[in-house]
Each structure stands twice: as structure tokens, then as C-alpha cells.
């Protein structure tokens, strides 16, 4: 006859301790995994359309500077950042939006109407009115934003 093993008090305490530890591990582990993998699971869906201003403000063949403040919240941290964007149109229907940050070292470029060029004061970089590199050390043209027009307002895709 085979001996039946009885469920002893020691077995019960071991099982209970193991179960409680498992619940505590799950309670801490699941949020920790979500916290660690969260940034990797984020997509470009966090980008939002940012309103710059009315289409009527943009002069034909002249880059027009728009400034706006973007608020970004990550957890409890709220970060406000002012962005400046030059908008150019040659026909009043098609718009190009360019960053005013030099692609060399991140200095702010400015439009000089008399020269019809963007100038970066740091290292004498020069960009054409559509943001292409004319001379100087920048490795690439001014960064561009995707543009849409709704209700005679200019929006750029950012985030």
C-alpha cells in the first residue's frame, strides 16, 4: 500500500508564502515592465498639428517668421518650448515651413531681406530663401515641417 503524503502545516505555509510573494512580484513587476517598455512602444502618433497663424500674414516670395509656444507634458513634468518657424509661399497656395535653427551647431538663423538669404551669425552660414545651403559649414538644409492649411490657418506637424 502506497503512503499518501499529507498536506502538512509546513506545506501550507510554504505555499502561502510563495503565493503572497508572487502577487507582490506581479504587483511591482507589471508596472515596472510597462514603465521600461513604454517609450519603445510610443509611435509618431504623439505628434500634433501646431497652429502658427493666418495665411494672410505670409507675404509672397518672402519667408515670414511665426513664433508659437508648445507645451509638452511627460508624467508630472510640464515643458514649455517656444519654436520659431519661417513660412514661405511663392504662389499663395503651396507653403514651405522651415526651422530657424542652423543645421551646423543649432544657432538661430535670421532672414535678411536686402540679401534675400538666411544668415547664421555663429559661423557665417548662408541659406537660400527655401532653406538650401548657399555657403558655410552646415551639412544640410534647414529642417522642414509638414504643412497643412485649414480655415485659412497654417499648421505644422510637430511634437
| pLDDT confidence band for 20 (50 / 70 / 90) | very high
**3-class DSSP assignment, residue 7:** coil
CA distance 97 to 55: 12
Q: What percent of the chain has pLDDT over 90?
A: 7
Q: What is the three-class DSSP state of 127?
A: strand
Q: Strand, helix or coil at 3?
A: coil
| pLDDT band at residue 121 under the 50/70/90 scheme | confident
pTM score of the predicted model? 0.67
pLDDT per residue over 53-83, tens digit each? 888 888 888 888 888 888 877 767 788 888 8
pLDDT at position 31 is 86
Distance from C-alpha of 86 to C-alpha of 47, rounded to nearest angstrom: 19
From the candidate CATH numbers 2.102.10.10, 3.40.50.300, 3.30.450.40, 3.90.245.10, the one assigned to the domain spanning 46-158? 2.102.10.10
User: What was the pLDDT predicted at 68?
Assistant: 86
Indicate if the alpha-carbon torsion angle 49, 50, 56, 57 is positive or negative: negative
Amino acid at each position: 500500500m502506497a503512503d499518501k503524503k499529507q498536506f502538512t502545516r509546513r506545506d501550507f505555509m510554504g505555499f502561502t508564502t510563495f503565493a503572497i510573494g508572487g502577487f507582490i512580484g506581479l504587483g511591482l513587476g507589471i508596472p515596472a515592465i510597462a514603465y521600461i517598455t513604454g517609450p519603445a512602444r510610443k509611435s509618431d502618433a504623439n505628434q500634433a498639428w501646431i497652429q502658427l497663424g493666418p495665411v494672410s500674414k505670409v507675404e509672397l516670395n518672402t519667408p515670414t517668421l511665426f513664433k508659437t509656444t508648445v507645451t509638452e507634458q511627460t508624467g508630472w513634468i510640464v515643458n514649455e518650448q517656444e519654436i520659431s518657424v519661417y513660412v514661405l509661399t511663392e504662389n499663395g497656395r503651396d507653403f514651405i515651413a522651415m526651422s530657424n535653427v542652423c543645421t551646423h551647431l543649432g544657432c538661430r538663423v535670421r532672414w535678411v531681406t536686402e540679401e534675400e538669404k538666411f544668415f547664421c551669425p555663429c559661423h557665417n552660414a548662408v541659406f537660400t530663401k527655401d532653406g538650401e545651403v548657399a555657403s558655410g559649414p552646415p551639412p544640410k538644409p534647414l529642417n522642414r515641417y509638414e504643412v497643412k492649411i485649414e480655415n485659412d490657418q497654417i499648421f505644422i506637424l510637430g511634437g
